[in-house]
Chains A and B, each alone.
Chain A
Amino acid sequence: MKRNPLRTQKIAFSFLLFSTLLIVLPVGFIVVEIILKGLPAINWQFLSDMPRQGMRAGGILPAIVGTLYLVSGAIIFALPIGVLAAIYLSEYAKDNLLNRMIKLSIVNLSGVPSVVYGLFGLALFVVFFKFGVSILSGSLTLGIMILPIIITASREALEAVPQSFREVSLSLGASKWQTIRNIVLPNAISGILTGTILGLGRAAGETAPILFTVAAFYLPRLPKSIFDQAMALPYHLYVISTQVPNVNEKIRYGTAFVLLVMVLFMNLVAIIIRSQFRKKKKW
């Protein structure tokens, strides 16, 4: 049979389209499933109450609060360090062995499995620094985990600022640091924020890094200080799904729903920030 290039192309296209649709399918399925089963559980009491009867009833307030604490702690730690490191790497670092090693480490850091971060956090923060199993240890562990995301996004944002802006600023007699502070950073801030928020979404959803460092199995009260243990949504979900028998499916899916909404909300904020700044910039 003679080959018809047009038909071959059509077949190839349909394979490509099919593969692409395969990506959408599971996302759509997960979201729909969780909304359908989780939404009925959502009411004010569920969001604002302590868990009761061994987590088989009541709300998930401490888990929500715990996750918020952890995410805030991670950002307080990771944002400044990540942005400063990104500035160093993209603006100051020369191409030498040390800096190549740093860049390689960042790539590798992002490839470390999250449970390894958990173990590392346990060894360093919980045991060595004696922070104990606490919000502080958990935040620091999550912070380290999202550092590579923040650094990579910030570097990309910094490097996207046109070279000509730097050149003009320097030619006007600005020092390198003045150039970075007044010209480069303000134009990179949207990219940095976007990357940070995506990192936060990741931090909010991870279970393994908080497993040994902060997460409480069942703690029906709010944490009082950063040295307290705390519940957190992803771990709570794990617990009520696998460790506690006879938990109503509604509660499980309700918890998943809240977690999903939090993460999707952060991603949405990132998308909005990005599109707002895109509209503004014309270079």
Chain B
Amino acid sequence: MAKIITKNLNLWYGEFQALKSVNASFREKAITAIIGPSGCGKSTLLRVFNRMNDFIEGFRITGEVVIEGKNIIDPTADLIDLRKKVGMVFQRPNPFPLSVYENIIFGLKIHSLVEGKNNYDEIVEQSLSSVLLWDDLKDKLNKSALSLSLEQKQRLCIARLIAVKPEVLLMDEPCSSLDPQATVRIEELMRELKNKYTIIIVTHNMQQAARVSDETGFMLLGELIEFLKTDIIFTAPRDKRTEDYITGRYG
């Protein structure tokens, strides 16, 4: 079932058209990868889904992005509700300069989701467990999140999202600042998480897309060239440009 559908999506930054008539549908509880060379618009597309492009100067958008029957690029859409539902993991792990515990409950406090301290404790444990950090950090909940390793920080950022019970996780090159072992483990985590969440990952690492995703979209100069099952796109792409990219002729 499709979780997110884009219809004829166009996006401009001033005169520059960053997305050109993108039509795609992203499957629920699956991992969809968006690949393409730098500047192809893949991050821009990702940021449409939680409206993080809105602040950029000269930003303009047309078309539709439908999540659960609602067009989220409508100016009247409830941004706070949208971002609760559609969370984002960034390229650089970016925990707040607070304790591990406070990082996790940040979203809960913002959305006033929980009453009482005991209930916080429970959600902190659940969230950290679901990113496999609980055993490592259960005795260090009051330590500063800045003292963690990069991988732990990135897991913590995912846990911070999970705490507010989102439905979609957007990941913008989540492993690009991690070492190869940490990358493998985060990828494992992603496979685990897709049982519960719809995941869309932007990556410039084609092997990563091939390893983790169920479907892959290839973008070039703002256009979505091809959008297919991952095993098909990497073995039998239909478009010459996709083939050239995945065989390493450019990018």
Give residues in A with beta carbon < 8 Å to B: 164-165, 167-175, 178, 182-183, 187, 281-283
Contact = CB atoms under 8 A, between A and B. Distances in A.
B50 interface: yes
Interface residues of B, number: 25
Given A182-B106, A282-B146, A171 B96 contact: no
Interface stretch (B35-43, B60-68, B86-94): B86-94
A164 B94 contact: yes
B168 interface: no
Interface in B114-148: 146
B90 A173 contact: no
B48 to A, nearest CB: 13
A167 to B, nearest CB: 7
Interface string B83-111: 11001101010101100000000110111
9 contacts: A164-B90, A165-B94, A168-B157, A169-B106, A171-B52, A172-B84, A173-B107, A175-B80, A182-B109
Given A167-B52, A178-B110, A172 B161 contact: yes
Given A164-B90, A171-B87, A187-B97, 7 more contacts: A165-B97, A169-B106, A171-B83, A172-B87, A174-B107, A178-B110, A282-B146
Contacts, number: 59
Interface of B: 50, 52, 79-84, 87-88, 90, 92, 94, 96-97, 106-107, 109-111, 146, 157, 160-161, 164
Contact residues of B: prevailing secondary structure: helix
B70 to A, nearest CB: 16
Given A168-B90, A172-B83, A173-B164, A283 B97 contact: yes
Given A172-B107, A182-B106, A167 B146 contact: no
B111 A173 contact: yes
Of A168, A182, A187, chain B has the most CB atoms within 10 Å of the CB of A168
A173 B88 contact: no
Contact of A164 (B87, B92, B106, B109): B92
A173 B80 contact: yes
Contacts of B79: 173
Given A171-B50, A172-B164, A173-B164, A282 B97 contact: yes
Nearest to B146: A282
In the A-B complex, list the 9 residue pairs whose CB atoms are closest, starting with the nearest: A173-B83, A173-B84, A171-B88, A174-B110, A172-B107, A282-B146, A173-B80, A164-B94, A168-B94
Contact of A170 (B83, B94, B97, B161): B83
B96 A173 contact: no
A100 B147 CA distance: 41
Contacts of A170: 52, 83
